[in-house]
């Protein structure tokens, strides 16, 4: 628990209001904004221990431990001359800070002194908890290899320290070594590898101390280093490949198998980044071109405005979206709606729910059967260990559209779908990532097929595999393979055969700008 203290003083009302605002921002985990206000107040009241103590809490929460030591030390000095009663708390947090910096000796000296004093029960409990953390045995002090790497790290020879950690330990990776590998990568400016190392700390059953430190660093990187340097972004995606069955023709029909190309373009701007609030405006454009099939030329424009509330334990997002599509360069379909997501983090585990709703409207009379409401509800559980991610989910979909007319009958399209699936991804070293998914859908259609009055039921199996190569942090080359198998009660004797297989293979490149 981190304490935020306030007190009545003779400061001007405006200063007191600003100080209260800093405390409110701190409570809502907006540490940087809180620190900015406190630094401004200290500029006018340099001898105010209350401001310094809360500034120390800000730096402690940001894992800027050198600045936290400086701030808490000012309070400790003020205690020595009798100008504050915050001294015990400042010394407690100074000990916590030293521990996180790896200076156990200084931390223990402070805690031992605090244990001899008469303190309020809640502070006494925190002092005793800190003493337990400091007394836990550390494998770091028992390994000559780790000690040598630590010496290199202390000498600021981070590349050499990283090599010693990785080569010296081999497969016998400890939580302490993983922590130091993460810190070394952070010093070398590689936040991606640092996050992977800190996730390994969590996976190696470490002490509560290391677990807390790893979580702090992961949150810091994701909040400060991972986001884009600029408030705007742009990406370009170009791919070419082959589709064995573009129009999903049944087994008794001739499949249209052709090469194709895809072009994607995305841009966005972040209007708001005041933790824990984020507001972005995004635009995506895609163009699908099928060889020898001009009627399949599809262009899609997508605009969304996601608003997110994100902390260490929660993500709540609302994302209104508008989609406009053209087919053969003529207006085809518009979709208006969006989605809402609530996600809860439990360390490496997570669980969430997402609801999507769109109203589709056809812009061509021939495709009026596509007009209608489409909604879905997705429940999922995920596991994120940095280099490995997996998500198990269930989805329910309702497509309240019309049915597709044929010259000799009607094909049911309006349906209810239940699906269960698994997605996963794994980083292989620093440059390769493999990901994939497998989903089984069960479709029940609202109407029967005409003219035979056959009840349509489909079961569909979908699987995908993607291999990414990161030639740089902003340039990704990829291979993508997808396969679909659909089994339907509508066969060769129906208005159209819906038993089909489809395979899609693409090679592409994605280039991000303004990282």
Residue range 248-295, pLDDT digits in tens: 999 888 888 999 999 999 999 988 877 788 899 999 999 999 988 888
Same domain, 388 and 282: yes
Q: Is residue 347 part of a domain?
A: yes
pLDDT digits (tens, 9 = 90+) for 413-430: 999 999 999 999 988 866
Q: Is residue 115 part of a domain?
A: yes
- Mean pLDDT over 390-414 rounds to 94
Q: Is residue 431 part of a domain?
A: yes
- What are the angstrom distances between the C-alpha of 404 and each of 139, 254, 460, 489? 68, 19, 19, 17
Cβ within 8 Å of residue 74, ≥6 positions away: 49, 52
Same domain, 282 and 386: yes
Q: Among 169, 203, 225, identify where a domain stops.
A: 225
Same domain, 175 and 55: no
User: Which of the residue ranges 252-261, 311-320, 337-346, 381-390 would you say has the lowest mean pLDDT?
Assistant: 381-390
Q: Is residue 6 part of a domain?
A: no
Same domain, 175 and 239: no
Same domain, 184 and 113: no
Residue 141 scores a pLDDT above 90: no
Residue 137 scores a pLDDT above 50: no
Q: Domain count of the chain?
A: 3
- Measured from the Cβ of residue 492, the count of other Cβ atoms closer than 10 Å reads 11
Same domain, 263 and 401: yes
Q: What pLDDT does 208 receive?
A: 58
The Cα–Cα gap between 304 and 340 comes to: 12
Residue 484 scores a pLDDT above 90: yes
Mean pLDDT score of the chain: 85
Model confidence band, residue 400 (pLDDT cutoffs 50, 70, 90): very high
Q: Is residue 3 part of a domain?
A: no
Q: What pLDDT does 192 receive?
A: 75
- What are the angstrom distances between the C-alpha of 460 and each of 473, 483, 493? 36, 10, 20
CATH of the domain at 147: 1.25.40.10
Tokens of 434: 């493999």
Same domain, 374 and 470: yes
Residue 509 scores a pLDDT above 50: yes
Residue 65 scores a pLDDT above 70: yes
Q: Among 181, 205, 225, identify where a domain stops.
A: 225
Residue 491 scores a pLDDT above 60: yes
Q: What pLDDT does 388 receive?
A: 86
Same domain, 199 and 245: no
Same domain, 65 and 163: no
Q: Is residue 483 part of a domain?
A: yes
The Cα–Cα gap between 471 and 459 comes to: 39
Tokens of 109: 């000296």
**Is the Cα torsion angle 200, 204, 205, 207 positive or negative in sign?**
negative
Q: Among 103, 135, 167, identify where a domain stops.
A: 135
CATH of the domain at 444: 2.40.160.60
Same domain, 207 and 351: no
User: Is residue 495 exposed (0-12), middle (13-18) or buried (19+ Cβ within 10 Å)?
Assistant: buried
Furthest-apart CA atoms within the chain: distance in Å: 96
Same domain, 281 and 430: yes
- Mean pLDDT over 483-495 rounds to 94
Residue 132 scores a pLDDT above 70: no
Nearest to 164 by CA among 245, 155, 249, 436: 155
Instruction: Give the bridge partners for 337, in sequence order.
Output: 321, 358
Q: What pLDDT does 258 receive?
A: 92
Model confidence band, residue 136 (pLDDT cutoffs 50, 70, 90): very low
Nearest to 41 by CA among 30, 29, 53: 53
Q: Is residue 4 part of a domain?
A: no
Nearest to 400 by CA among 428, 419, 425, 376: 376
* Contact (Cβ atoms closer than 8 angstroms) between residue 473 and residue 515: yes
Higher pLDDT, 394 or 428: 394
**Stated pTM of the model:** 0.63
The percent of the chain in helix, strand and coil, each rounded to the nearest 5, is: 35, 40, 25
Q: Is residue 184 part of a domain?
A: yes
Same domain, 494 and 395: yes
- Mean pLDDT over 363-377 rounds to 94
Higher pLDDT, 25 or 275: 25
Provide the residue range defining the domain that includes 90. Answer: 13-135
């Amino acid at each position: 628990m981190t304490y935020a203290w306030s007190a009545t003083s003779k400061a001007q009302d405006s200063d007191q209001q600003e100080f209260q605002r800093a405390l409110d921002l701190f409570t809502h985990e907006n540490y940087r904004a809180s620190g900015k206000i406190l630094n401004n107040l200290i500029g006018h009241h340099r001898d105010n221990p209350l401001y310094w103590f809360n500034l120390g809490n800000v730096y402690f929460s940001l894992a800027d431990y050198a600045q936290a030591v400086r701030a808490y030390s000012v309070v400790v000095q003020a205690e020595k001359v009798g100008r504050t009663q915050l001294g015990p708390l400042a010394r407690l947090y100074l000990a916590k800070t030293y521990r996180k910096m790896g200076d156990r000796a200084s931390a223990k000296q402070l805690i031992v002194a605090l244990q001899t004093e008469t303190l309020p029960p809640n502070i006494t409990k925190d002092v005793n908890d800190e003493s337990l953390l400091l007394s836990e045995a550390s494998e770091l002090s028992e390994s000559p290899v780790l000690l040598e790497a630590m010496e290199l790290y202390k000498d600021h020879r981070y590349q050499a320290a990283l090599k010693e950690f990785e080569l010296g330990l081999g497969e016998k990776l400890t939580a302490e070594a993983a922590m130091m590998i993460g810190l070394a990568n952070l010093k070398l400016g590689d936040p991606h590898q640092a996050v992977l190392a800190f996730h390994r700390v969590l996976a190696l059953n470490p002490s509560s101390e290391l677990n807390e430190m790893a979580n702090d660093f992961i949150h810091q990187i994701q909040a400060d280093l991972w986001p884009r340097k600029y408030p705007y972004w742009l990406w370009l995606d170009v791919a070419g490949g082959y589709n064995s069955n573009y129009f999903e023709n049944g087994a008794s029909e001739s499949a249209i198998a052709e090469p194709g190309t895809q072009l994607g373009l995305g841009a966005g701007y972040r209007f708001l980044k005041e933790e824990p609030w984020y507001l972005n405006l995004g635009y995506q454009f895609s163009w699908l071109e099928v060889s020898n099939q001009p009627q399949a030329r599809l262009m899609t424009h997508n605009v969304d405005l996601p608003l997110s509330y994100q902390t260490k334990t929660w993500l709540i997002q609302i994302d209104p979206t508008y989609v406009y599509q053209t087919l053969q360069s003529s207006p085809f379909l518009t979709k208006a709606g969006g989605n809402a997501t609530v996600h809860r983090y439990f360390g490496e585990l997570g669980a969430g729910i997402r609801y999507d709703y769109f109203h589709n409207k056809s812009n061509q009379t021939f495709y009026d059967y596509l007009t209608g409401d489409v909604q879905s509800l997705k429940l999922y559980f995920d596991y994120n260990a940095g280099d490995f991610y997996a998500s198990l989910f269930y989805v329910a979909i309702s497509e309240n559209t019309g049915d597709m007319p044929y010259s000799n009958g009607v094909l049911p399209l309006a349906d209810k779908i239940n699906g269960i699936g698994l997605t996963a991804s794994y980083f292989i070293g620093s440059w390769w990532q493999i990901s994939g998914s497998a989903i089984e859908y069960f479709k029940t259609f609202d109407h029967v097929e005409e003219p035979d009055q056959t009840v349509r039921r489909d079961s569909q199996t979908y699987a995908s595999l993607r291999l990414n190569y990161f030639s740089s942090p902003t340039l990704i080359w990829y291979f993508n393979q997808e396969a679909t198998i659909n089994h339907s009660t509508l066969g060769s004797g129906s208005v159209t055969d819906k038993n089909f297989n489809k395979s899609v293979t693409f090679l592409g490149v994605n280039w991000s700008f303004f990282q």
